[in-house]
């Protein structure tokens, strides 16, 4: 299979590129390198914004059978501060990717969406067919991407699968910017810096290891799951306080976070139901949280 991965120099994207190459596929990468870096010399890197009209010409030359679209503006807070910029990257960029795929005769697009599309869910873990309720420009832009996928499928027969990602963590995740809390805790605890929990530490999230996520992408590149949305998560809730204790244990550091007032807009709880991904894609998470955190901390320690 020949694949094109947008955002393929980032945390999740570069891990996916490695997986696809190890599976014997040909891979090309599109990334503007705003937050990632070239990691795999076996995959030609095209430094390009996904809104660039030249993406269409690149796709026509490469002729990918599958496009995995991960490039995005991923910060909820930045989307609130500048919704126009968020829409330009996440809506206009996605449409440009779909146009490039259509022109190149691509069979399928696998799209990275977010649990943010569910808003404040009535049921946890959130089923894949739960109503959407975007409460930020970022969530709205991701849901817009899903809508465009459906439109292109109906108009042009372009297959697609949407993967809704819960809180992804693992090696290569940066602790800077809009980083995941695992990367932030890991970096601080290994460096002996203080850590902070917001609220009373009872907020929950569903943490999924990056290698499990890319396994979901690899499976979705096949013929199954066309036209559907699948949650990639564990279905398990972990509190912020529990997470801190687990990361501290993996890092061999004191489990003594400071507490600050809760942040406005933070969801009190989140977890997603992955059962449909097992039924249709044969996917399941294979790393429990202690395993994944051990690998993450070891990677961070080796690079420090």
List alpha helices for 157-238, DSSP H: 181-191, 210-220
Q: Which residues of the chain have pLDDT under 50?
A: none
| 174 CB burial (10 A radius; 0-12, 13-18, 19+) | middle
- The residue assigned the tokens 């873990």 is 125
Distance CA 262, CA 156 (A): 46
- The residue assigned the tokens 């003594």 is 256
Contacts of 108 (CB under 8 A, 6+ apart): 65, 66, 67, 158, 159, 160, 161, 221, 226
Tally of residues, the chain: 304
CA 77 from centre of chain: 17
Catalytic one of 138, 148, 152, 169: 138
138: annotated active-site residue: yes
Find, among 248, 245, 240, the residue nearest to 198 by Cα: 240
pTM, entire model: 0.96
pLDDT in tens, 209-254: 999 999 999 999 999 999 999 999 999 999 999 999 999 999 999 9
Distance CA 259, CA 61 (A): 53
DSSP helix/strand/coil, 2: strand
The confidence score (pLDDT) of residue 36 equals 73
69 in Cβ contact with 111 (< 8 Å): yes
The confidence score (pLDDT) of residue 299 equals 97
The confidence score (pLDDT) of residue 179 equals 65
Q: State the DSSP string of 112-148.
A: EEEGGGG-S-SSSSBPTTPPP---SHHHHHHHHHHHH
Element (DSSP H or E) covering residue 276: helix 275-281
């Amino acid at each position: 299979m020949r694949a094109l991965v947008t955002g393929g120099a980032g945390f999740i994207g570069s891990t996916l590129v490695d997986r696809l190459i190890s599976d014997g596929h040909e891979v090309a990468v599109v990334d503007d390198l705003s937050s990632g870096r070239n990691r795999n010399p076996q995959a030609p890197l095209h430094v390009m914004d996904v809104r660039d009209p030249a993406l269409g010409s690149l796709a026509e030359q490469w002729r990918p059978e599958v496009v995995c679209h991960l490039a995005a503006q991923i910060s909820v807070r930045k989307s609130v501060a500048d919704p126009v910029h968020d829409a330009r990257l996440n809506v206009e960029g996605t449409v440009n990717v779909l146009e490039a795929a259509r022109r190149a005769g691509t069979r399928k697009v696998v799209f990275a969406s977010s649990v943010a599309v569910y808003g404040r869910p009535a049921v946890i873990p959130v089923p894949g067919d739960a109503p959407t309720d975007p409460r930020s420009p970022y969530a709205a832009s991701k849901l817009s991407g899903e809508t465009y996928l459906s439109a292109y499928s109906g108009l042009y027969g372009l297959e697609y699968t949407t993967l809704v990602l819960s809180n992804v963590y693992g090696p290569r995740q940066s602790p800077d910017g809009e980083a995941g809390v695992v990367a932030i805790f890991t970096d601080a605890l290994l460096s002996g810096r203080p850590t902070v929990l917001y609220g009373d530490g009872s907020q929950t999230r569903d943490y999924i290891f990056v290698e499990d996520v890319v396994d979901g992408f690899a499976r979705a590149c096949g013929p199954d799951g066309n036209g559907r949305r699948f949650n990639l998560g564990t279905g398990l809730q972990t509190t912020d306080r529990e997470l801190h204790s687990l990361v501290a244990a993996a890092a061999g550091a004191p489990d003594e976070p400071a507490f600050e007032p809760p942040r406005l807009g933070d969801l009190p709880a989140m977890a997603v139901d992955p059962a449909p991904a097992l039924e249709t894609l044969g996917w399941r998470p294979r790393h429990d949280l202690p395993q994944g955190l051990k690998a993450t901390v070891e990677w961070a320690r080796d690079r420090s």
